[in-house]
Amino acid sequence: MQPTIKNVINDEERYSRQILFRCIGVEGQRRLTESRVSIVGCGATGSAIASLLARSGVGSIRIIDRDYVEPSNLQRQTLFDESDAAESLPKAIAATRKIASFNSGIVVEPRVADLTPGNIAELLDGSQLILDGTDNFETRYLINDYAVQNSLPWIYTAAVGSYAVTLNIIPEETSCLSCIFPHSPKGVVETCETSGILNSAVNLAASIAATEALKFLTGSKNNIRRTLLSFDTWTNEHAEISAANPCSTCETCGKRNFLHLAGEGRPHITLCGRNSVQIHESHRPINLLEISDRLKPHGTVRHNDFVLKFLRDPYEMTLFPDGRAIIKGTTDTAVARSLYARFIGS
């Protein structure tokens, strides 16, 4: 039997076409190789950004995500496949495995976690740049607080329906998220669950954000866009709002009141794309095998090393090793709490 020959690709060959781009070149590629970024959320925009940056040779990528892969993700979340959905793999784990299959020369660190005031410093430690792949403003305001407090650049990115939007935030130089959006959107807010989403809008937003990230990381500061950019891929309408300067009256970057970073008793979050509630205040180690044995008389149970799924009609509970759970089948936090206390404990 012939020995297996491992195909080793050197960086000069792998990144040759990118190095030929004069704004990056050899020196820019070296900087990318030495860069460290964190991506918060690995859903639609997050997975596309992660793929682009990994293929570009960003040397260290930390992927932070609280969720798991399911079939409805596959239409737009480019790092996942049907086997990931069948196993309900955590997105951070599935993304890391997929990236390793096309670029084994970089370091990808998966963190299956919900970003909170209590863990944000540990999860984002050592990052040069933070990229937003989340699906809610609560987490974005938390990132904004941390980034402004620590003078870290970050890139806000979102997509819903046919609409893509992104904003570069450089603390002390540009507007922060709170300058542009002093308050979280109220009333009826479009989500991919209510308005759907085009994968082309996702990829447009992610491509723009990833390109801005390359500018940050290679030192092309003069070329960084300083506007909130929005584009509707269906109607071709687009707009830009200046974000060139911080707002002196901004609660976050002007007055330095980091309300979200200091937040206590964060509410349950209804996740994008599902009729579900997350329980995240019970951070305690969970032995999935023991819980599996305990739950089997009460419903259908399956688990792997990363996640346990418990089905008891009409609800589905996804339990993570840190004690966090996603309860599918309700948006009533009281019902979710009751189910968690009944089957997992309080």
Q: What's this model's pTM, rounded to 2 decimal places?
A: 0.85
Distance CA(134)–CA(139), nearest Å, equals: 7
Mapped onto helix, strand or coil, the DSSP state of residue 283 is coil
The answer on pLDDT for 1 being more than 50 is no
CB 325 within 8 A of CB 307: no
Tens-digit pLDDT profile for residues 138-168: 899 999 999 999 999 999 999 999 999 999 9
Distance CA 157, CA 180 (A): 14
User: Residue 340's CB: how many other CB atoms inside 10 A?
Assistant: 21
Please give the pLDDT value at position 188: 47
The reported pLDDT for the residue numbered 346 is 59
Neighbours of 232 (CB within 10 A): 16
The CATH number assigned to the domain with range 276-343 reads 3.30.310.10
Write the pLDDT tens digit of every residue in 23-51. 999 999 999 999 999 999 999 999 999 99
- Contact assessment for residue 123 and residue 117, using Cβ atoms and an 8 Å cutoff: no
pLDDT band at 266 (very low <50, low <70, confident <90, very high): low
**Domain 11-242 of CATH type 3.30.565.10:** no
Domain ranges of the chain: 11-242, 276-343
Half-sphere exposure of 98 (CA within 13 A, CB side): 24
Query: What pLDDT was estimated at residue 39?
Result: 98
